[in-house]
Structure 1
Amino acid sequence: MPQAARWVGSPAIKGRTESMRMALLTFSLLGLQFTWGIEMTYCTPYLLQLGLTKSRTSLVWIAGPLSGLIIQPLIGVIADRSRSKWGRRRPFMIGGSLVVTVCLLVLGWTTELVGYFVTDAEKATRVTIALAVLSIYAVDFAINVVQACARSLIVDTLPIPLQQAGSAWATRMSAVGQLIGYVIGSIDTVRVFGTAIGDTQFKQMTVIAALALLAAVTVTSYSVKERVLITARDSDGKAGAFQVLSQLIKTTMDLPPRIQAICWAQFWAWIGWFPFLFYSTTWVGETYYRYEVPKDAARPADMLGEVGRVGSLSLVVFSSITFISSVLLPFCVQPPNAKRPRFTPRPPPGLAALLRKITKIRPDLQLTWLISHIVFAATMIFAPLARSRAFATFLVAICGIPWAVSCWAPFAFMGVEINRLAMNPSQVSLLSGVTMITSTTIRSNAYNTDLNGTTDSEMDVLRLNHHDSDSDSDTEDGGVSNIPSTGELAGIYLGVLNVYTTLPQFVGTFISWIVFSILEPGSTKRDDSAPDSTWMDLDKSTPNAISICLFIGAISAIVAMEATRRMRYVL
């Protein structure tokens, strides 16, 4: 019989309250989303300003799905087998964030770096574009390392009953990161901060994003203690490159039915979300300059910063609604496989009656995810009709509600399924064996030592033990367990989910390239004799190509709705 993985220690999170512990566990996603927000807000207009056409810019964004397709599953498998004394996830998170920081700074100062080495103007333009594109690719690859491990850390640390709560908190932190990033992006940072950290809005935003990511990852890495893998499963004993790829392909091609259903719903949903996330800022800015600003009006010198600010204002509203939704919706949705809650202590009779009624009509997570697809489709289907910044902002803002659900639902479902698979089938029903033990209880336990033999007497540390009540093995803090552990394969299965998140981005990129090539084939070709602002000179009599891409995304969301509906019938 194959030998199960063996562990030492148990997960621990600093903090005196559950809310504080959840916030610290998911805090890295705040900085992560801040960085994504900067890339999605500024990089498209930045590349257009450098001289790329829209069709070629759309091809640059293959970096996102390509990095997600390769890096996240690969890092997931490697991290799953890591035996570092610091844990399986945090070393990769810290290393990835350092790489992102360097690449963001290179991206912000691309022109200056190239100008220092290349003097020929025409050659410098080509090299600048190449270095900018290369930096975007490097940022995407490195940030996917951080994202994969940050998500896996949540699944690793929390027991099954808290998987949905952890996923909801991750969404809240992502929304806060988006909100802060877009608020800062909507103001004139050069006027506020001066030129100490850059002489343009884009440069300053890259610096702020780099510092935010480093700070957020540091907070989570310090606050969370991981279990340490001592011995991998027999089947995972070999860790060569061929074995890693073989396991990855085998897992992707032979998914359990429930995980397969979740992945397909995610696939169709992300064909719709990809153009929204990468082009919505540029779309709002284009709508404003195409339909509301007279062609003979004076253009700002920093057109890139101006478009970023216009688009960021709409995304501030979007992120605010996302955050509010991520806070309120989890209380209105039944957790997966949840039992009906008991109200103890009993509330006043009038309130108790109201709570009973709410409980009866409260949808489950599957229905909530389905409704979110409907809301997104019903909103983006009106994108081609937008003729003002106000209406475009309104459409973007409404999408904050389905986006909150889309960031939360698939990971909550996957967290439950991954942890169930890690147990033996006969043990799945024994969820009561997953216990939460506070440090007060731990101090009276004989197994209260960490790897160095020291005692943790902090009152503000929550330790989470994942064990089965029927097991003979000790799984208390410091004990070595050889039972199947929850979250054991979190990295590889979340990597597979990311494959189904990134493959539709290739589809979306291809669709965008076709649409831009047909509708706006030469609208952004660079004229070196003209000012940099001419890339935003658009003809209001021609269709808005980005709005057509958003409309196609709405159609895909309808398919995602049907895929989500069918999840109910998959066992």
Structure 2
Amino acid sequence: MPQAARWAGTPSIKGRSESTRMALLTFSLVGLQFTWGTEMTYCTPYLLQLGLTKSKTSLVWIAGPLSGLIIQPLIGVIADRSRSKWGRRRPFMVFGSFVVAFCLIVLGWTAEIVGMFVTEPEKVGAAKKVTIALAVSSIYAVDFSINVVQACCRSLIVDTLPIPLQQAGSAWAGRMCAIGQLISYVVGSIDTVSIFGSLLGDTQFKQMTVIAAISLILAVAVTSYSVKERVLISARWVNSTIPMEDRELTDENRDSDGKGGAIQAISQLFRTTMELPPRIQAICWAQFWAWIGWFPFLFYSTTWVGETYFRYEVSKDQVTKATDMLGEVGRVGSLSLTVFSSITFLSSVLLPFCIQSPDTKRSRFTPRPPPGVAAALKAVTAVRPDLQTAWFISQIMFAATMIFAPLAHSRAFATFLVAACGIPWAISGWAPFAFMGVEINKLTMNGGTGGGGMAGQATRSGVTMITSASVRNSAADTELEVLRLNHRDSDSDGDEEDQSSNIPSTGELAGIYLGVLNVYTTLPQFVGTFISWIVFTLLEPGAQPNKDSDSSDTQWMNLDKDKPNAISICLFIGAISALVAAEATRRLRYVP
């Protein structure tokens, strides 16, 4: 029987209360989501302003799913095996955040950078093409590097928390994402140029890239300083999906090569993806269909609201007089998404108290509420749904909202539809990670074998675990004390070998399984990109000049009221996909 991983050090989070520790653990997601919000708000109209058609712009956004498909699973496997003295996740988070910051600055100043090398007036056409190429390359670089940060931020949460706290950790992550998103859209809706002047740049877009870069570095620094990880000494754990006859060979390879190579990492990822446990597979398929619907909403909603406003509510004379149309569209779209993010934040704060935790029951001890509210709390507790039901309802709600997108002919109605999606988005950013956290830790509770045997208790190196042949049906699984982490420092006992454990502890497989979930999150984005490309090609094949305007700054928007809005059609198709996701979520309850 191959040994499990060996660890040294004590995992801990600074802070005196559980709420403080949860906030510090997930604080990096504030900067991460601020950066995503800035990219999704400004980059689509920015590329359109540079001269790309909507069909070509939709192909640019293949950067997101491509980077997620490649980087997140790969970095998850590599980080799982990292033996850095700083931990497995934080070094990648810190390095990745600085790379993201650099790429954001390049993205904001693409025209100036190209202008340093192309100064001849006769080469203006060539300079424009180079500017577009540099902007697209910068977006790809941002997406690839930010996925490194995102993968490790999510894995750090699963690494640190036991099963009873997985839903709470995912809920706190959802809150921090909502906060970052809200701040991003609030700042984006303000005329920052009038506030900062030219200190951070001479346009709204430039200033937003600088603010996003600074916020990401600071947020990652807070989490990295506050969280102490265990240090991996020997990466001899194995994937539970690898057949038993292959496991010894895997360990021998790792012994001969201290660090798993890229080919081995990709091989492990592929095998894990092909041999997922049934419930993890079901969770991934629900995520797959859901993200076909969420992709056009996240990347085009700002442009859609702004274009709806300028198409139906602004006169052509006012459009002609606009000097910074990119900034105007960004501010209009950000204002609607500010309402969306506010609802997302409130939902992420309140809904966890109204939804039962997955696969756990109440502990033996429950604090007694005041008599005046006891009856009300009892009534609410009796009817509150579980997480699977809440996820199902959220997808129905998203579909019912986006079906009306083609009927939006005013900014108020478009804003209402976007804002209503705040509730399902809060649950969608929380539910799949909570379910995955539970399933990942159940796999490690079973010793990575998933096999049978009588229930027993093993204690090694301060790790107390309750294992069972059938985790779902065992009595141990019904208590909050299913899994406890109490790792001692390797120095405390003086013998490093005594710190090893033959039973894996929580989070050892977090990187690879969350990477697989990300595969099912990114593959539908390829589908969404393809659908958007077809719709834009058919309905808006090119940027048509505005006959009543000499301003090239407005040529990239379709302001013809008699033509259908292509983005609305993409949102409608996404609503249909959300209905399929709802059915996949409903079936999750019946998967053993």
Give TM-score scaled by structure 1 length.
0.92
Provide the residue aligned with 1:184 in structure 2: 187
Kept after mapping to 1: 8 A contact 2:5/2:500: no
Alignment of 1:143-182 (within 5 A): 143-182=146-185
Provide the residue aligned with 2:356 in structure 1: 334
1-structure distance, mates of 2:366, 2:66: 50
SS of corresponding position for 1:230: strand
Which residue identity lines up with residue 488 of structure 1 in the other structure?
E
Alignment of 1:75-224 (within 5 A): 75-119=75-119, 120-224=123-227
Report the Cα offset of residue 352 of structure 1: 1.9
Provide the residue aligned with 2:483 in structure 1: 434
Alpha-carbon distance change, 398 to 450 in structure 1, aligned in 2, over 3 angstroms? farther
Alpha-carbon distance change, 343 to 421 in structure 1, aligned in 2, over 3 angstroms? closer
Higher mean C-alpha deviation, range 211-220 or range 113-122: 113-122
Provide the residue aligned with 2:305 in structure 1: 284
Provide the residue aligned with 1:469 in structure 2: none
2-structure distance, mates of 1:118, 1:514: 35
Report the Cα offset of residue 531 of structure 1: 2.7
1-structure distance, mates of 2:149, 2:16: 26
SS of corresponding position for 2:152: helix
Report the Cα offset of residue 436 of structure 1: 5.8
Provide the residue aligned with 1:544 in structure 2: 565
2-structure distance, mates of 1:525, 1:19: 54
Report the Cα offset of residue 524 of structure 1: 5.3
Can you list the C-alpha shifts for 1:65-105, whole angstroms capped at 9, x where unaligned?
00000000000000001011100000000111011000000
Provide the residue aligned with 2:233 in structure 1: 230
Kept after mapping to 1: 8 A contact 2:302/2:333: yes
Alpha-carbon distance change, 208 to 524 in structure 1, aligned in 2, over 3 angstroms? farther
Which residue identity lines up with residue 144 of structure 1 in the other structure?
N
Report the Cα offset of residue 393 of structure 1: 0.3
2-structure distance, mates of 1:325, 1:345: 25
Alignment of 1:507 onto 2:527: yes
Alpha-carbon distance change, 247 to 307 in structure 1, aligned in 2, over 3 angstroms? same
Alignment of 1:293 onto 2:296: no
2-structure distance, mates of 1:415, 1:452: 31
1-structure distance, mates of 2:363, 2:348: 21
Which residue identity lines up with residue 276 of structure 2 in the other structure?
L
User: Equivalent of 1:376, from 398, 401, 405?
Assistant: 398
How many residue pairs match? The answer is 542
Kept after mapping to 1: 8 A contact 2:490/2:496: no
Report the Cα offset of residue 353 of structure 1: 2.0
Alpha-carbon distance change, 564 to 115 in structure 1, aligned in 2, over 3 angstroms? same
Higher mean C-alpha deviation, range 530-539 or range 143-152: 530-539
Which residue identity lines up with residue 525 of structure 2 in the other structure?
Q
Provide the residue aligned with 2:376 in structure 1: 354
SS of corresponding position for 2:562: coil
Can you list the C-alpha shifts for 1:540-560, whole angstroms capped at 9, x where unaligned?
100000000000000000000
Kept after mapping to 2: 8 A contact 1:80/1:492: yes
Kept after mapping to 2: 8 A contact 1:159/1:434: yes
Kept after mapping to 2: 8 A contact 1:75/1:145: yes
Report the Cα offset of residue 450 of structure 1: 5.6
Can you list the C-alpha shifts for 1:266-294, whole angstroms capped at 9, x where unaligned?
00000000000000000000000111111
- RMSD in angstroms over aligned alpha carbons? 2.1
Kept after mapping to 1: 8 A contact 2:73/2:515: yes
2-structure distance, mates of 1:492, 1:354: 43
Which residue identity lines up with residue 26 of structure 1 in the other structure?
T
Alignment of 1:255 onto 2:258: no
Provide the residue aligned with 2:265 in structure 1: 244
SS of corresponding position for 2:555: helix
Provide the residue aligned with 2:289 in structure 1: 268
Provide the residue aligned with 2:412 in structure 1: 390
Can you list the C-alpha shifts for 1:201-234, whole angstroms capped at 9, x where unaligned?
0000000000000000000000000111111126
SS of corresponding position for 1:435: strand
Higher mean C-alpha deviation, range 26-35 or range 291-300: 291-300
Which residue identity lines up with residue 434 of structure 2 in the other structure?
A
User: Equivalent of 1:561, from 565, 579, 582?
Assistant: 582
Kept after mapping to 2: 8 A contact 1:79/1:89: yes
User: Equivalent of 1:423, from 445, 451, 462?
Assistant: 445
Alpha-carbon distance change, 524 to 482 in structure 1, aligned in 2, over 3 angstroms? farther
Report the Cα offset of residue 525 of structure 1: 7.2
Can you list the C-alpha shifts for 1:460-501, whole angstroms capped at 9, x where unaligned?
xxxxxxxxxxxxx999xx944342111101000000000000
Alignment of 1:12 onto 2:12: yes
Kept after mapping to 1: 8 A contact 2:357/2:387: yes
Kept after mapping to 2: 8 A contact 1:54/1:524: no
SS of corresponding position for 1:310: helix
Alpha-carbon distance change, 518 to 10 in structure 1, aligned in 2, over 3 angstroms? same
Can you list the C-alpha shifts for 1:359-396, whole angstroms capped at 9, x where unaligned?
11110000000000000000000000000000000000
Report the Cα offset of residue 523 of structure 1: 3.2
Which residue identity lines up with residue 402 of structure 1 in the other structure?
P
Provide the residue aligned with 2:458 in structure 1: none
2-structure distance, mates of 1:421, 1:186: 45
1-structure distance, mates of 2:559, 2:524: 29
Which residue identity lines up with residue 161 of structure 1 in the other structure?
P
Alpha-carbon distance change, 131 to 524 in structure 1, aligned in 2, over 3 angstroms? farther
SS of corresponding position for 1:549: helix
Provide the residue aligned with 1:38 in structure 2: 38
Kept after mapping to 2: 8 A contact 1:52/1:526: no
Alpha-carbon distance change, 358 to 433 in structure 1, aligned in 2, over 3 angstroms? closer
Which residue identity lines up with residue 481 of structure 1 in the other structure?
S
Provide the residue aligned with 1:464 in structure 2: none
Kept after mapping to 1: 8 A contact 2:282/2:584: yes
Provide the residue aligned with 1:465 in structure 2: none
2-structure distance, mates of 1:199, 1:552: 38
Provide the residue aligned with 1:23 in structure 2: 23
Which residue identity lines up with residue 373 of structure 1 in the other structure?
Q
Kept after mapping to 2: 8 A contact 1:52/1:525: no
Alignment of 1:307 onto 2:329: yes
Give TM-score scaled by structure 2 length.
0.88
Report the Cα offset of residue 111 of structure 1: 0.1
2-structure distance, mates of 1:434, 1:168: 19
1-structure distance, mates of 2:90, 2:212: 20
Alpha-carbon distance change, 484 to 132 in structure 1, aligned in 2, over 3 angstroms? same
2-structure distance, mates of 1:334, 1:501: 25
1-structure distance, mates of 2:489, 2:64: 44
Kept after mapping to 2: 8 A contact 1:185/1:312: yes
Kept after mapping to 2: 8 A contact 1:314/1:393: yes
Alpha-carbon distance change, 260 to 391 in structure 1, aligned in 2, over 3 angstroms? same
Kept after mapping to 2: 8 A contact 1:6/1:483: no
Alpha-carbon distance change, 433 to 280 in structure 1, aligned in 2, over 3 angstroms? closer
User: Equivalent of 1:490, from 491, 505, 510?
Assistant: 510
1-structure distance, mates of 2:506, 2:216: 28
